[in-house]
Structure 1
Amino acid sequence: MPRLAAASLAGTAIEFYDFFVYGTAAALVLGPLFFPTFSPVAGTLAAFGTFGVGFVARPLGSVLFGHIGDRHGRRPVLVLSLLLTGAATVAVGCVPTYDSIGTAAPVLLLVLRFLQGLGLGGEWGGAVLLTAEHAPADRRGLWSSFPQIGPAVGFVLANGVMLVLSAALSDAQFASWGWRVPFWAAGVLAAAGLWLRSSLTESPQFLELREHARVPLAEVVREHWRLVLLTAGALAIGYAVFYAVTTWSLAYATERLGVSRTVMLACIMGAVVVKGALTPLVAILGDRYGRRPLCLAGCAATALWMFPMIALLSTGEPLLMFLGFLVALIAFVTMFGVIAAYLPELYEPRVRCTGAAVGYNLGGVLGGALTPIVATAVAEQSERVPWGVAAYLTGIALLSLGCFALLPETRPVAVVATEPATG
């Protein structure tokens, strides 16, 4: 289990590095480089639009790679998704800007971002299921939380590289070529990830299946559509909060408040590091007390904290902004620290790869794709504190709270008792 968990963590970290480095670049430089004919705000909105395309592609990736995972095994998904995401990320770093090739530049950016999202849509389901289905039932939350640490590691890697380049280079150098370096580095990371995953074994629960779903998506839509919608709605607030903190706030503070990008990256990275460190601790609590209570608590805390977070962000003071981000991400991880065990336990093994991944990534469309765009547009209408952003996030939190309330509990004792039915 330690070797498997480490390989899953490393793989998700690499794939989320690829995904997050685009979000940081979108907040800092992609607007003026690829949409120079737009106003600064419109250019940022357009860059966030290409960022959102990755989220739209993720459910499609869930369907494509979920079909492979449910029909042919979880392990092939890990290799294919990593290859696709890594190649698309390196290619983003090679796309000429608008000044060189005109409108073809943003079109290429859009296509490559779509491919990034397609690969990531398959990654999460494969990595989480391979770990969760190997783990003993009473420790499933703990072991399956390691792939969930991957996004935090990937974010810190992506923004750490951006932070070093931002501090070391002039604005002109960073805009000219510096922003491309993190994308090129993705090729090296992808090769390392493929080497780590080459020795993984197939999930025992998949190997024990006597019959595989012929068309997993059709079975999920026919028999589990309500569960998919509830999980998507429940997870929407996690995505919304995470990308409000890590993407929208970066653009808002640097453009509207005049905070340096180095300071903002440091504040956000510090909060994300704490979030990653707390993930296995939350998962242990999930194994002991259940998944649903923690999800409900995290959702409620998020709803209560959005207005204070926006108020702290609007001060432009590094310590206060860090405090706002930190509490928001602690509330976030209280939910998402147990999700890697919770979602697979909600679906039967024959359609688990498709069902869990589609629900997870649809939540990303609802929360992650729209939040930077909506928040940027709403904040533009505010002269001082963007309370409308806080109201938007609070509304999503209440929606997710209602969805979590309608989902059943799946803590280990319940899983063991119903093993023939749910795995």
Structure 2
Amino acid sequence: MVGKVVARRRRRQADVSDASLARVAVASCAGTTIEFYDFFVYGTAAALVFPKVFFPALGAAAGALASFATLGVAFVARPLGALVCGHFGDRFGRKNTLVATLLLMGVATVLIGLLPSSAAIGVAAPVLLAVLRFLQGFAVGGEWAGAALFAAEYAPERQRGRYAVFPQLGPALGFMLASGTFLLVDVVVGAGSEAFLAYGWRIPFLSSAVLVFIGLFVRMVVAETPAFREYQAELEAGGVRRPETAPLRKVLRTHLRQVLLGGGVLTVLFALFYVATAYLTSFGTSAGGAGLSRSTVLELGIAAGAVLASTTIAAGVLSDRIGRRRTIIAGFVIAVPLVLVLFGLLGGGSGVALGVTLATMLGVYGVAYGPVGAYLPELFTTDCRYTGAGLAYNLGGVLGGAVVPLAAAALSAAHGVFAVGVLMAGVALVSLASAVALRPRTEGPA
């Protein structure tokens, strides 16, 4: 049995050229970059523009609340996207599903940039905004697992961590692109100006069409992954039994432990990322926080994104040498004391402390996040890998990306910013325990 697995892997690698691997790298990176670019663009617009453009009748406070409620709609849609896209990805292939998720995400983002205001079409404007945000979340829910599988199932056996790092670059590139785009718009039309409210905020949304076009072109010319093509060939030849149950049913029956522990591993990663990029950005510009200008905070975000990209790449490469699990655990061990120190420094409201905290948190996040693109696919078999990896990833996304930032804002208001550090340290311990308990099914996708 082991000899057959080794022989299969050697045949796959012989059929994959360097040019194919380069296209796969771009194809897997494009979607996750758009995913995170969209989050920051939407989050920034939800804070600065949407209350005035889509919820003016509610007033400033209620309008802001309604605006951020639409931001949360995406987290509700993500698990559904993971289930639906995972089913089609496991049954009919990774490539076509990834083309569909990228197209849906791109169309929804561009349509938000074209959406008329409430002054023009009344209550239909916020309703359509919520619908488009739901579609974005649905597409994102199916995007990451497929992109990670695309890279991991194409990669040479001993370089899986290196190639699976490309979808993991999405947070860094998306954060840098979104920060840079809004910084450019601020310079051209002026932050908070009438021009910004009228059309300036729409430019970042419409600009995503360029990324979508590049991603679609590359994904269309790349073939289905070798692992899935081989699985399909064995099904047709009778070498393996055709699945009798839906991928979700198999995941719940035989891989539930991997999903739950995988979600636990991802929880602190989403928490580190969203607390750093959303909570700290708000803290940096608020009068009760660092009190910095928005342009300064955006510049700090670009620098922190560069740090994140560097540690993500380094950790992915390192994971091929010492193992994915060990690299992830090392990141968590560093994170526990570090967040306590960093949030202690933030209490002084210093701009320097904010910059150091932002860059360090994202840097540590990159250490643990870099190997995840190869790590999660290794937990599941080919016939349910898309569904299982997507569920685990989005479980961590809901817990760490939606619940923790809300708790952080409440704790900060009631007990000060250091309480956020205590929360983050506790979440890191939960993820550390999950990583210790969770071992890969195999040394790589088989």
TM-score, normalised via structure 2 length: 0.86
Question: Residue 90 and residue 335 in structure 1: after superposition, are their counterparts in 2 closer, same or farther (change >3 A)?
Answer: same
* CA distance in 1: counterparts of 2:421 and 2:215, whole angstroms: 38
Secondary structure of 2:207's match? Answer: helix
- Equivalent position of 1:419 in the other structure: none
Distance 2:396 2:313 in 1: 22
Match of 1:71 in 2: 91
Structure 2 unpaired stretches of 5+? 1-20, 236-240
Deviation at 1:401, TM superposition (A): 1.4
| 1:22 has 2:53 as partner | no
Using a 3 Å threshold, how does the CA distance of structure 1 residues 372 and 41 change in structure 2: closer, same or farther? farther
> Residue 391 of structure 1 is aligned with which of 413, 418, 422?
422
Distance of aligned partners of 1:300 and 1:104 in 2 relative to their CA distance in 1, 3 Å threshold: farther
Aligned length: 413
Cross-structure match for 1:263 = 296
C-alpha separation in 2, matches of 1:45 and 1:212: 49
After superposition, where does 1:230-269 map in structure 2 within 5 Å?
A: 230-256=261-287, 257=289, 258-269=291-302
In structure 1, distance between residues paired with 2:53 and 2:341: 34
Superposition pairs of residues 17-416 of structure 1, within 5 angstroms: 17-36=37-56, 43-170=63-190, 171-172=192-193, 173-209=195-231, 210=235, 211=241, 213=243, 214-256=245-287, 257=289, 258-382=291-415, 385-409=416-440, 415=443
Q: Which amino acid aligns with 2:167?
A: P
Alpha-carbon distance, 1:142 to partner: 0.6
For residue 144 of structure 1, report the CA deviation from its aligned partner: 0.7
Deviation for aligned residue 1:181 = 0.9
Residue 44 (structure 1) shift: 4.2
Deviation at 1:84, TM superposition (A): 0.4
Q: TM-score, normalised by structure 1?
A: 0.91
Residues 239, 363 of structure 1: 8 Å contact kept: yes
1:79-118 Cα offsets, whole Å, 9 max, x none, are: 1001100011111112334454454433322221111011
Q: Which runs of 5+ in 1 are unaligned?
A: 417-421
* Cα RMSD (Å): 2.1
In 2: Cα distance, 1:27 partner to 1:381 partner: 22
Q: Do 2:176 and 2:301's aligned partners in 1 also have CA atoms closer than 8 Å? A: no
Q: Secondary structure at the match of 2:308?
A: helix
Alpha-carbon distance, 1:388 to partner: 2.7
The answer to whether the 8 Å contact 2:347/2:418 transfers is no
Which amino acid in 2 is paired with 1:29?
A: V
Q: Deviations over 1:5-38 (max 9, x none)?
A: 1232233323332233212322433344444466
- Shift of the 40–147 alpha-carbon distance from structure 1 to 2, 3 Å rule, reads same
Q: Is the 8 A contact 1:8 1:127 kept in 2?
A: yes
Partners in 2 of 1:298 and 1:100 — Cα distance?
Answer: 50
Question: Helix, strand or coil: the match of 1:415?
Answer: coil
Change beyond 3 A, Cα 1:285–1:212:
farther
**CA-CA distance at 1:2 after TM superposition:** 2.3
Query: Is residue 275–residue 405 contact of structure 2 (8 Å, CA) maintained in 1?
Result: yes
**Structure 2 residue identity aligned to 1:415:** E
Using a 3 Å threshold, how does the CA distance of structure 1 residues 188 and 3 change in structure 2: closer, same or farther?
Answer: closer
Q: For 1:212 and 1:182, locate their aligned partners in 2 and report how far apart those are by CA, in whole Å.
A: 45
CA contact (8 A) 1:16 1:120 kept: no
Matched position secondary structure for 1:198: helix
SS in structure 1 of the partner of residue 201 of structure 2: helix
- Asked if the contact 2:33/2:174 (under 8 Å) is kept, the reply is yes
What CA distance in whole angstroms lies between the structure 2 residues aligned with 1:102 and 1:310?
Answer: 43
User: Given that residues 265 and 432 in structure 2 are in contact (C-alpha distance below 8 angstroms), is that contact kept between their aligned partners in structure 1?
Assistant: yes
What residue in structure 2 maps to residue 8 of structure 1? 28
- Answer yes or no: is the 8 Å Cα contact 1:230–1:406 preserved in 2: yes
Asked if 2 retains the 8 angstrom alpha-carbon contact of 1:303 and 1:393, the reply is yes
Please tell me whether the aligned partners of residues 27 and 250 of structure 1 are also in contact (alpha carbons under 8 angstroms): no
Is the Cα contact below 8 Å between 1:156 and 1:269 reproduced in 2?
Answer: yes
